[in-house]
Structure 1
Amino acid sequence: MAFVGRDQELSTLNGLYNCGGFQMVVIYGRRRVGKTALISHFAEGKPTIFFSARESTSKENLVALSQAIASLQPGGTPVARDTPSPVFASFEQAFAAVLSLARKQRIVFVIDEYPYLAQSDRSVSSILQHCIDAEKDRSQLFIVLCGSSMSFMEHQVLGYTSPLYGRRTAQIKVQPFSIMQAAQLLQGSSAEDIVTWYGITGGIPLYLSQWNSSMSMQQNIARNVLRTDSFLYGEPDAFLQQELREPSKYNAIIQAIANGEGKLSNIADVAGIERTMMANYLKGLEELGIVRQEKPIVDANRKKTRYVLADNLFRFWYRFVLRYLTPIEAGRTEEVAQLIVRNHLPTFTGPVFEEVCRQWLVYRPNRAEWPLILGIGRWWGTDPRMKEQAELDVVALCDDDTMICGECKWQAGPVGTDVLHKLSYRANIVRDGRKQQLVLFSKSGFTAECRTEAKQQGCTLVSMDDMGLA
């Protein structure tokens, strides 16, 4: 698929590149999020030294770095990959050579997976710092340090105690695609398929790109997610094995959350892990983008914290693959996919549609019609009249003291007045003196009665067609 999205990130990179002078950009984000693709797209047509560090020894990384430097001649002309190249005696000499090349011309120098290099030789960051300080005032070097270990990049590269602190000129944390960016990648598919596939794979571009528009949703699930030889089938387990030291414990935690446990204490009990250790495990999963905390966006009691799966592929895998593992491994993927699509997929996609609606409100195209949103999320709490738990799918706080309250319905038929009445009632529960704007989202449109009453109440109706995803 063609490169799409990342417009803001590319604008930042190109703006700094065109400024001239020394620049050091730190790019980081979870594995598979598209960091290398972003850098490669930016570097097209520019004299570039691209070095991808390895989880190996210092010597092997120095050899690979020397070969990468030799791939660019002094005039900026690439040389053949099989051309013999000398190996620098040290990282200091290698970095000095790159800075020397960049005295008279603009050169992009990429160190991909920088944490691997720094871990193979703990002095690398200090050496790089000294070389930069000695040459940056006369250098045209555009250096990019990229890494997937977010804790390492944030603390050992961007952190105050890092030798490289203060040398960076910009940092970019690459986030998963929003639904709008996913729609660009899946252009030509129906809005329903885009939302559903986004719900199954999430915003990781590589996951999204497994979609085959010539096949039905059932076929895509069977062949691209459930088949044991497919990339997506093995990805959750491979991801945990690569990123974590105790994958079995993290696996138990994810399974507990996937089964509906949200409180830290309950997750710990179900996973069989001491509660005192659970916070650290959850923090690790949060840093990887697999788990996130949720709190009611409006509530005096901010201790109402829930943990939910933030990665949609993990959510799908732990919900369905483990449940149907025996028939899947027996090759009955078409039957399992049919069962999932027929009996479970609409319910599974409902919470995803809520997130899609929240994203649309923040990034919506007709921004002039709405106030600026400062914070958005969900709300849950007690209905004081009915003495039961109540929820709102969307609550947004805006800069003009407006509160937007919304409900999202992923159902086959049009939404009727009963949903509108429930939204109006629940919005009154969270009313705290702010002006309120009601908005109702629907996959399948609205009844005529609902449209009439919504107009009378000033409630905005948004169908999936209105969202402009397809």
Structure 2
Amino acid sequence: MRFYDREAELKILQDMRLQSRQKARMTFIVGRRRVGKTRLIKEAFSSDNLVYFFVAKKNENLLCEEYCSIIQESLGAKIIGQISSFSQIFEYLLEYSCNHPFTLAIDEFQEFVTVNPAVYSEIQHLWDTYKERSKMNLVLCGSVYSLMKKIFENSKEPLYGRADRKIVLKPLGTNILKQIMSDYHPDYSNRDLLCFFMLTGGIARYIELLVEQNALSLDSMIRAVLDEHSFFLYEGRDVLIDEFGKDHATYFSILSLIAGSRTARPEMESLLGKNIGGHLERMEKDYGIIHKVRPLFAKPGSRNQKYAIDDNFLNFWFRFIFKNLSAVEMGNMDYVFNVVQRDLDTFSGAFLEKYFIQEMKLSGKFNRIGPSWERKNKNEIDIVAVNDMDKKLVMAEVKLNKKHINLNVLRRKAVNILASHQQYTAEFIGLSLSDMSPAP
């Protein structure tokens, strides 16, 4: 599959490469697994001298042996003597770069914590020693959000303040998803597009797998994901198990409840029989997996809030695969498929709202966008978009079927919003599957 988008990130990486010709530069990239970090690095430096290391969970001596072979293959340089530590390799490369500029990319950089935690201090010492005369373009990449954040943004860590640039690689947007569908499935329906958005959420690897399997119609996508040999079946577990560690069972239970629309903390605590405030905070602030959803006009600190899973695929995985893991383990994928078919319309409605919110953000017309509701979930409005400069409100009701939209009901729900925004003009719209815009 061809490479899509990422122009801004490519520019940053190329700018850092050029700057490193004068003095060493360090960039760190963070993003969830499968989002396309490795492909981005290789695309950015395809015509450059690139040394690419992957940090596997194995003995440091074995890693060093592997890295020495990569150095010889990539740079034509051979390290002489016995090498038993990464610090020896890193110092050699820093010295080499003083006369031979090149890019060193280290993928899954956070895994050094399991190989040898002292590596971070060793890198810091060597970087400070060589930085002024080295011409290395160092790119450090990681997918465990909590560890990467700690390594580079915790003031007590040795690499704090050393990075010159940070890239948070996000999923591909709806505009790019439409381009991909047009390229590989030009007769796609809006239901196909919504399912593509719901299952992949713009995660590059998921998109690539579905494109490679030519599974871009709604039915074929669902069947590809639920195939008994599918990559996707244990993906939720594989993505999160390293983040959560030994306490993953509680985290998985919380995420399963959120995916099943049990999104209020009191309700979740009642069902789980325990206080989960710490778990929710860590998933939001340390892991970046969930976020609080408050009514758009709620006061700061309001407790009128719900929780949502950021990642589209994880939403689907916890709602349909994790919840039916016994059937999955038995190989009864027909059962899971039938559950998905039965509940898909109800489940996908929230993703249609999310799709239109992303489209509104991409339009650049608004400075605030989100849902609105009053206490006890009264007068719930799917989307409210605000332009405070032009004093304009757009309020939308979102339904899969346009026939179910009632703008008169929407206007009644908005009475209190209009009363508090008397100087604003208000527009009321209905959005449905038929309003999903075509590819540009």
TM over 0.5, shorter chain: yes
Give the distance between the partners of 1:27 and 1:388, measured in 2 at CA: 39
Of the structure 1 ranges 144-153 and 198-207, higher mean CA displacement relative to structure 2 is found in 198-207
Give the distance between the partners of 1:324 and 1:132, measured in 2 at CA: 49
Letter in 2 for 1:349: S
**Who is 2:249 aligned against?**
248
**Who is 2:231 aligned against?**
231
Relative to structure 1, the CA distance from residue 360 to residue 47 in structure 2 (aligned partners, 3 Å threshold; closer, same or farther) is same
**Who is 1:125 aligned against?**
120
Letter in 2 for 1:425: R
Relative to structure 1, the CA distance from residue 156 to residue 412 in structure 2 (aligned partners, 3 Å threshold; closer, same or farther) is same
**Who is 1:193 aligned against?**
192
Does the 8 A contact of 2:384 with 2:396 survive in 1? Answer: no
Does the 8 A contact of 2:397 with 2:407 survive in 1? Answer: no
| Aligned positions, number | 427
Whether 1:8 and 2:8 are equivalent positions in the alignment is yes
Letter in 1 for 2:373: W
Relative to structure 1, the CA distance from residue 109 to residue 178 in structure 2 (aligned partners, 3 Å threshold; closer, same or farther) is same
Q: Secondary structure at the match of 1:56?
A: coil
Relative to structure 1, the CA distance from residue 187 to residue 428 in structure 2 (aligned partners, 3 Å threshold; closer, same or farther) is same
Q: Deviations over 1:188-236 (max 9, x none)?
A: 44243122221133232212333244664223212x1222211111211
Give the distance between the partners of 1:72 and 1:317, measured in 2 at CA: 39
**Who is 2:62 aligned against?**
60
Letter in 2 for 1:347: T
**Who is 1:33 aligned against?**
35
Counting aligned pairs with the same residue, the percent is 25
Relative to structure 1, the CA distance from residue 153 to residue 443 in structure 2 (aligned partners, 3 Å threshold; closer, same or farther) is same
Does the 8 A contact of 1:109 with 1:141 survive in 2? Answer: yes
Give 1:410 shift: 3.5
Relative to structure 1, the CA distance from residue 11 to residue 404 in structure 2 (aligned partners, 3 Å threshold; closer, same or farther) is farther
Give 1:328 shift: 5.6
Unaligned runs of 5+ in 2: none
Whether 1:103 and 2:98 are equivalent positions in the alignment is yes
Q: Deviations over 1:51-71 (max 9, x none)?
A: 111223333333333333333
Letter in 2 for 1:197: F
**Who is 1:317 aligned against?**
317
Give the distance between the partners of 1:441 and 1:169, measured in 2 at CA: 45
Match of residue 165, structure 2, among 150, 170, 186: 170
Q: Secondary structure at the match of 1:221?
A: helix
Q: Deviations over 1:232-269 (max 9, x none)?
A: 11211233333322222222212222232222232122
Does the 8 A contact of 2:256 with 2:323 survive in 1? Answer: no
Give the distance between the partners of 1:177 and 1:243, measured in 2 at CA: 23
Does the 8 A contact of 1:256 with 1:271 survive in 2? Answer: no
Give the distance between the partners of 1:215 and 1:167, measured in 2 at CA: 43
Match of residue 398, structure 1, among 380, 384, 387: 387
Give the distance between the partners of 1:91 and 1:214, measured in 2 at CA: 43
Give the distance between the partners of 2:401 and 2:438, measured in 1 at CA: 19
Q: CA RMSD in A?
A: 2.8
Q: Secondary structure at the match of 2:367?
A: strand
Relative to structure 1, the CA distance from residue 357 to residue 388 in structure 2 (aligned partners, 3 Å threshold; closer, same or farther) is closer
Give the distance between the partners of 1:139 and 1:326, measured in 2 at CA: 55
Give 1:311 shift: 2.3
Give the distance between the partners of 2:30 and 2:322, measured in 1 at CA: 31
Give the distance between the partners of 1:93 and 1:327, measured in 2 at CA: 50
Give the distance between the partners of 1:318 and 1:107, measured in 2 at CA: 43
Match of residue 415, structure 2, among 428, 431, 434: 428
**Who is 1:160 aligned against?**
155
Give 1:442 shift: 2.6
Does the 8 A contact of 1:414 with 1:442 survive in 2? Answer: no
**Who is 1:448 aligned against?**
none
Give the distance between the partners of 2:28 and 2:5, measured in 1 at CA: 19
Give the distance between the partners of 2:72 and 2:428, measured in 1 at CA: 59
Q: Deviations over 1:379-414 (max 9, x none)?
A: 1115xxxx9711111123334063533224333445
Give the distance between the partners of 1:102 and 1:266, measured in 2 at CA: 57
Whether 1:468 and 2:438 are equivalent positions in the alignment is yes
Letter in 2 for 1:217: L
Q: Secondary structure at the match of 1:231?
A: coil
Does the 8 A contact of 1:185 with 1:209 survive in 2? Answer: no
**Who is 2:267 aligned against?**
266
Relative to structure 1, the CA distance from residue 240 to residue 26 in structure 2 (aligned partners, 3 Å threshold; closer, same or farther) is closer
Of the structure 1 ranges 40-49 and 155-164, higher mean CA displacement relative to structure 2 is found in 155-164
Q: Secondary structure at the match of 2:15?
A: helix
TM-score under structure 2 length normalisation: 0.87
Give the distance between the partners of 1:352 and 1:306, measured in 2 at CA: 16
Does the 8 A contact of 2:145 with 2:288 survive in 1? Answer: no
Give the distance between the partners of 1:356 and 1:398, measured in 2 at CA: 19
Letter in 2 for 1:32: R
Q: Secondary structure at the match of 1:137?
A: coil
Q: Secondary structure at the match of 2:281?
A: helix
Unaligned runs of 5+ in 1: 446-462
Q: Secondary structure at the match of 1:308?
A: strand
Q: Secondary structure at the match of 2:239?
A: helix
Relative to structure 1, the CA distance from residue 468 to residue 97 in structure 2 (aligned partners, 3 Å threshold; closer, same or farther) is same
Q: How does 1:60-99 map to 2 (within 5 A)?
A: 60-73=62-75, 77=76, 87-99=82-94
Give the distance between the partners of 1:327 and 1:396, measured in 2 at CA: 42
Relative to structure 1, the CA distance from residue 318 to residue 167 in structure 2 (aligned partners, 3 Å threshold; closer, same or farther) is closer
TM-score under structure 1 length normalisation: 0.82
